[in-house]
Amino acid sequence: MTDPQAIQPSELDQLPDRDPEETGEWQASLDAVAKAAGPHRAAYLMRRTLERAEGSGIALPKLLDTDYVNSIPTAAEPSVPGDEEMEARITAWNRWNAAAMVTRGSKHGVGGHIATFASAAWLYETGFNHFFKGKESDGSGDQLYIQGHASPGIYARAFLDGRLTEQHLDNFRQEAGGNGLPSYPHPRRLPWLWEFPTVSMGLGPLSAIYQARFNRYLTSRGIKDVSSSHVWAFLGDGEMDEPESTAALALAAREELDNLTFVINCNLQRLDGPVRANFKIVQELEAQFRGAGWNVVKTLWGTAWDELFALDTTGALVRRLREVPDAQVQTYQTRDAAYIREDFFGKDPALAEMAKLLSDDKIIECFHFSRGGHEARKVYAAYKAALEHKGAPTVILAQTVKGHTLGEGFASKNANHQMKKLTADEFKAMRDRLGLPIKDSDFVDGVVPYGHPGADSPEVRYLQERRAALGGPAPARRVHPVAPLPVPAEKAFAAFDKGSGSQNVATTMAFVRLVKDLVRDKETGRRWVPIVPDEARTFGMESLFPSLGIYSPKGQTYEPVDRDQLMYYKEAKNGQILNEGITEAGSMADFIAASTSYATHGEAMIPFYIFYSMFGWQRTADQMWQLGDQLGRGFLVGATAGRTTLTGEGLQHADGHSPVIAATNPAALTYDPAFAYEIAVIVKDGLRRMYGEAAPGEDQNVFYYLTVYNEPLPQPAKPAAPGVDEGIVKGLYRFNTAESAGLAPAANAPRIQLLGSGTAIHWALKAQKLLAEEWGVAADVWSATSWTELRRDAMEADAALLRGEERVPYVRQVLQGAEGPVLAVSDYMRQVPDQIAQWVEQDWSSLGADGFGLSDTREAARRHFGVDAESIVVAALAQLAGRGEVRATAVKEAREKYGL
């Protein structure tokens, strides 16, 4: 047997070595360099050789990280156009006002963040002055995802620009009285300024990727050419811990989204301390992004370091920078030159000799202040390189100091995220550092003043001229005045009015059929954006594949295995369907981009995202809040809904609570339709409200959540009674009475009202028949299409009464005069129907599927949870017995009869 130690690496390689002698020479050369010049020199040569190979297009594994130095050498940096001194003065004013605003607000106990913007000021200022296109430029301008904790700096710049007043700044985090500023980027709270809510960390980077991708989608489909738009996402290095932050990196690289740039502010601190205390976050992120296929630009050191790198003839400085952990770098930030000489330079003889050539002031300048992210020239070079790079997205890793310019009490201190104010003396020291013309006498009663050079000052004129050249103010959100979308032809909706006859149809299939008809509409069909997380066949959507196509920037480069079938898997560059793979988070990010296109791009799109109802709100509820905050519009569809309807899948798939979660979101209109015609009415009204002529007082900035089921059942015709459409939209209407159902109850028969939603109405209808035929009870059946909308209407009525206005809740109006008690049932936990209990005047009880789901047949699961028809009968008899309207023994008899 061969000794493994004797086997050469080439012998273990599956690739044949065509010239072993040449291979040996290369290996011997490497050995010789390592022996003569040391392993560091050998490693240097190997790295440079691999970089040359990569740049020459030779197929080799990529280098996952590079030396801990700037990607762009000082000598290669382009000059910054414009007036750098003027931009420094503007930045100084912004730094001051951001800190002043938070400090003044702290007296009211509202908090705020100072240190983040202090570290990132130049990252924003350079972009605003030279790169970020406004809404008045070609296309739609750029999309800016601002780091949430940096919002005070953005407000400060808007104040300098004249877009905000001192009153606004003094109302930071104080919105109740009007003219307030939200704590973070919240479009719903400040819709003319903020486009994208970002402070729920991780959602900003994820959404930015899908926004860049959606921009390409709009262009490829011919909706609007937005190829000149660039997406900029400003992130924190600690934020990259969130799984959503890196969830879609491969997508961005795979689809070559060079219209996207991440700017990660690497101040090496999370909220409580170092990001990677014992390691190096910059190197980790570089490897992660390079491995995913991104272009990486590192902007780490300021120009003060140029002298040190020039003295580094042995590579000792670069080696030392690679090995020092982040937490120690932060410690250097707070220590004197003697400590740095001993701990940093003293570890290597070559560095110790170098240190002898450096003054204490030079060491302090380098280690305390000189970071790449604090210099306009270096930031400009990085941004320019990002825009010029083609074929891949770019991430800029900009090293900064958290709390930069705020003073020794802030800079790099672990607690600076929680520090909300500076003292008057600290402000005066900051004023002197920044060179601002603010007098001591301006501090009245110790209150820090705001600073402004004047509306006609050179600084303000320069700022406004730069923004005018780039297409107007930024950030800014603008809803373009667009005509309402025309209502699709009535034929598509009316097709469901007659029911399905003898054919059984699941409501999931009914919804897909409706959409299939709507996307054929000549006026609005192309604006539909079907989104599905790789479950299209589960939801019966495969019929849309060949007609609409699945969006792919590369089209279809292969012959699909099912090409000979009618419903084959068709990808196309102008495909309409977004089939995202197994990612609910990615699908939601798609939905958010599409649902806000009316504002971002002035193009109304109609997204519908269909998903396993269990895996929508439960997994991505945070993104639903982001959707509401961003004023998105569209249809979320929880398919295979219900706790007992999705048979066999069991606990993890059994949704008994998504309507409860959805009810917590004020922007979500939640519906649980029972029949196909109800779906048609709801979708039609949703299109009117969100995209057409909304009624006075209606908020267009809402989205719809519909639960639909995979249980094939007969679809009845829409009742001809008046007010059915209104009831469907408002949440409740009477589907039938015992008389109209042909059950012929006795004249004095006890009566009960059965309210059911979704698939549960079929159990109620069966119970209606059992009650009449076996127990002599008359039951009327009501379809509760939206428990949540009924509750909201009732709460609004309560509020109106407190204002002295007479208003009766709709649920009370519609049930007025209905005889007997009310029994409500759904395929969800009882909390869902119980939302309206307090506004129902009749005696109330409910049934629901509370608890964990289980695997079994539908019938067995419904019997287990006590929501099947027989259970409804027993519950109804119990209610009537308690009122003395049926004999008490009837309840026991029914229980025994049905085996309950």
What's the pLDDT at 11?
42
- In one-letter notation, the amino acid at residue 761 is I
5: confidence class by pLDDT, cuts 50, 70, 90: very low
Does residue 12 carry a pLDDT above 70?
A: no
820, HSE (Cβ side, Cα atoms, 13 Å):
25
Mean pLDDT throughout 548-553?
A: 94
Q: Respond yes or no on whether the N-terminal peptide bond of residue 607 is cis (omega within 30° of 0).
A: no
Nearest CA among 704, 681, 529 for reference residue 605: 529
Q: Provide the percentage of residues in the chain whose pLDDT is more than 90.
A: 80
10: confidence class by pLDDT, cuts 50, 70, 90: very low
Opening angle at CA 294, ends 293 and 298, nearest 5: 135
Distance (Å, whole) CA 135 – CA 477: 8
Over the stretch 213-236, which tens digit does the pLDDT of each residue have? 999 999 999 999 999 999 999 999
Question: CB neighbours of 52 closer than 8 A, spacing ≥ 6?
Answer: none
Task: Look up residue 641 and give its DSSP letter.
Answer: -
Over the stretch 321-358, which tens digit does the pLDDT of each residue have? 999 999 999 999 889 999 999 999 999 999 999 999 99
What's the pLDDT at 737?
96
CB burial string 549-580: b at 16+ within 10 A, e below: bbbbeeebeeeeeeeeeeeebbbbebbbbbbb
Mean pLDDT throughout 134-163?
A: 94
Distance (Å, whole) CA 848 – CA 258: 51
417: confidence class by pLDDT, cuts 50, 70, 90: low
More confident: 276 or 412: 276
The answer to whether 503 and 223 have CB atoms below 8 angstroms apart is: no
The two beta strands, 703-707 and 668-671, are: parallel
Does residue 397 carry a pLDDT above 50?
A: yes
177: confidence class by pLDDT, cuts 50, 70, 90: confident
Over the stretch 123-142, which tens digit does the pLDDT of each residue have? 999 999 999 999 998 789 99
What's the pLDDT at 272?
82
327, HSE (Cβ side, Cα atoms, 13 Å):
9
For residue 636, give the 3-state DSSP assignment. strand
Distance (Å, whole) CA 268 – CA 279: 10
Over the stretch 184-205, which tens digit does the pLDDT of each residue have? 999 999 999 999 999 899 999 9
Q: Where are the alpha helices (DSSP H) in 14-162?
A: 20-37, 39-55, 84-106, 115-130, 151-160
Residue 722: exposed, middle, or buried by beta-carbon count in 10 A (0-12, 13-18, 19+)?
Answer: exposed
Does residue 614 carry a pLDDT above 90?
A: no
Instruction: Express the helix, strand and coil content of the chain in percent, nearest 5 each.
Output: 45, 10, 45
Residue 209: exposed, middle, or buried by beta-carbon count in 10 A (0-12, 13-18, 19+)?
Answer: buried
Distance (Å, whole) CA 440 – CA 410: 22
Over the stretch 91-117, which tens digit does the pLDDT of each residue have? 999 999 999 999 998 888 888 888 899
Distance (Å, whole) CA 128 – CA 467: 7
Q: Name the one residue in this structure whose structure tokens are 């059946």.
A: 781
Does residue 371 carry a pLDDT above 70?
A: yes
What's the pLDDT at 416?
52
Indicate the pTM of the whole model.
Answer: 0.93
Q: Which of 211-215, 316-320, 522-526 has the highest mean pLDDT?
A: 211-215
Over the stretch 712-722, which tens digit does the pLDDT of each residue have? 999 999 999 99
Over the stretch 258-298, which tens digit does the pLDDT of each residue have? 999 999 999 998 878 889 999 999 999 999 999 999 999 99
104, HSE (Cβ side, Cα atoms, 13 Å):
23
Structural Rg of the chain based on CA atoms: 33
Mean pLDDT throughout 649-669?
A: 92
4: confidence class by pLDDT, cuts 50, 70, 90: very low
Does residue 562 carry a pLDDT above 80?
A: yes
Name which of 186-195, 295-304, 398-407, 783-792 the model is least confident about.
398-407
Q: Which of 97-106, 392-401, 416-425, 500-509 has the highest mean pLDDT?
A: 392-401
Over the stretch 746-780, which tens digit does the pLDDT of each residue have? 889 999 999 999 999 999 999 999 999 999 999 99
Distance (Å, whole) CA 36 – CA 602: 66
Distance (Å, whole) CA 334 – CA 357: 22
Average pLDDT, the chain: 93
What's the pLDDT at 490?
92
Over the stretch 863-890, which tens digit does the pLDDT of each residue have? 999 999 999 999 999 999 999 999 999 9
Mean pLDDT throughout 249-261?
A: 98
What's the pLDDT at 15?
55
147: confidence class by pLDDT, cuts 50, 70, 90: very high
Does residue 37 carry a pLDDT above 60?
A: yes
In angstroms, the Cα distances linking 310 to 343, 363, 815 are 21, 15, 85
Q: Which residues on neighbouring strands pair with residue 824, listed in sequence order? A: 755, 846
466: confidence class by pLDDT, cuts 50, 70, 90: very high
Q: Which residues on neighbouring strands pair with residue 825, listed in sequence order? A: 756, 847
Mean pLDDT throughout 361-372?
A: 95
Mean pLDDT throughout 826-844?
A: 97
The answer to whether 202 and 623 have CB atoms below 8 angstroms apart is: no
Mean pLDDT throughout 151-178?
A: 94
What's the pLDDT at 418?
57
What does the block give as tokens for 565? 């079938």
User: How many other C-beta atoms lie within 10 A of the C-beta of residue 177?
Assistant: 7
Over the stretch 675-689, which tens digit does the pLDDT of each residue have? 999 999 999 999 999
Distance (Å, whole) CA 449 – CA 739: 76
Mean pLDDT throughout 639-662?
A: 90
The answer to whether 124 and 400 have CB atoms below 8 angstroms apart is: no
Nearest CA among 532, 523, 526 for reference residue 547: 526
What's the pLDDT at 437?
96
Task: Look up residue 368 and give its DSSP letter.
Answer: I
